[in-house]
């Protein structure tokens, strides 16, 4: 039996598990793990954005953060043992809805080119842009027009 995923807002108590997941990913790995500090996770909980976690049987299996100021996805990571089970899609939906509700018309993110994440964002309707640097590609997502055609 595959227990149902649940989602909730992230809290300070979740930071250790989110950091564990971030360091466990096989793609888009941090070259310098000290680059992402516990304070950064804390700052994106409320001051700079909002975060959510995905849980299965009470275990955090993924997390995502949106940045309120610029409408970006700061983080979206799933424990490699739980990839392909819907956590990323559910987390993405929460972050996107929240950022659009704040009034952002266009969202953006960057991810490792030619990775599973690269293919995931394209499959979720994001528009692939140019390269940000030697290994990271840019994506954008436009808010859908309200009420259909404007013409």
pLDDT at residue 151, as a whole number: 46
**Distance between CA 99 and CA 135 in Å, rounded?**
26
**Distance between CA 38 and CA 19 in Å, rounded?**
8
Is the predicted pLDDT of residue 150 greater than 90, yes or no? no
- State the pairing for strand pair 49-56/59-67: antiparallel
Q: Domain spanning 5-142 has what CATH number? A: 3.40.630.30
pLDDT tens track for 76-132? 999 999 999 999 999 999 999 999 999 999 999 999 999 999 999 999 999 999 888
Mean pLDDT of 123-150: 86
Nearest alpha-carbon partner for 88 in 42, 59, 53: 53
Is the predicted pLDDT of residue 8 greater than 60, yes or no? yes
Q: What are phi and psi of 101, to 5 degrees?
A: -65, -25
Mean pLDDT of 44-62: 94
Instruction: For residue 28, give the 3-state DSSP assignment.
Output: coil
What letter would DSSP give residue 34?
A: G
Mean pLDDT of 8-36: 86
Q: What pTM does this model have?
A: 0.88
DSSP output for 60-112: EEEEEEEETTTTEEEEEEE-GGGTTSSHHHHHHHHHHHHHHHTT-SEEEEEEE
What angle is formed at CA 43 by the lines to CA 97 and CA 56, rounded to 5 degrees? 55
pLDDT tens track for 56-87? 999 999 999 999 999 999 999 999 999 999 99
pLDDT at residue 148, as a whole number: 56
Q: What are phi and psi of 132, to 5 degrees?
A: -80, -40
- State the pairing for strand pair 136-142/59-67: unpaired
């Amino acid at each position: 039996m595959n227990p149902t995923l649940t989602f909730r807002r992230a809290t300070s108590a979740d930071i250790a598990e989110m950091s564990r997941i971030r360091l466990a990913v096989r793609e888009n790995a941090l070259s310098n793990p000290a680059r992402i500090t516990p304070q950064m996770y804390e700052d994106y909980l409320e001051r700079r954005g909002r975060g959510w976690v995905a849980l299965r049987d009470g275990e955090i299996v993924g997390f995502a953060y949106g940045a309120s100021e610029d409408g970006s996805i700061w983080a979206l990571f799933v424990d490699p043992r739980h990839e392909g089970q819907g956590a990323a899609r559910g987390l993405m939906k929460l972050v996107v809805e929240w950022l659009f509700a704040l009034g952002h018309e266009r969202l953006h993110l960057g991810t490792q080119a030619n990775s599973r994440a690269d293919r995931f964002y394209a499959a979720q309707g994001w528009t692939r842009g140019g390269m940000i640097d030697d290994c990271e590609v840019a994506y954008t997502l436009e808010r859908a027009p309200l009420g259909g055609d404007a013409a």
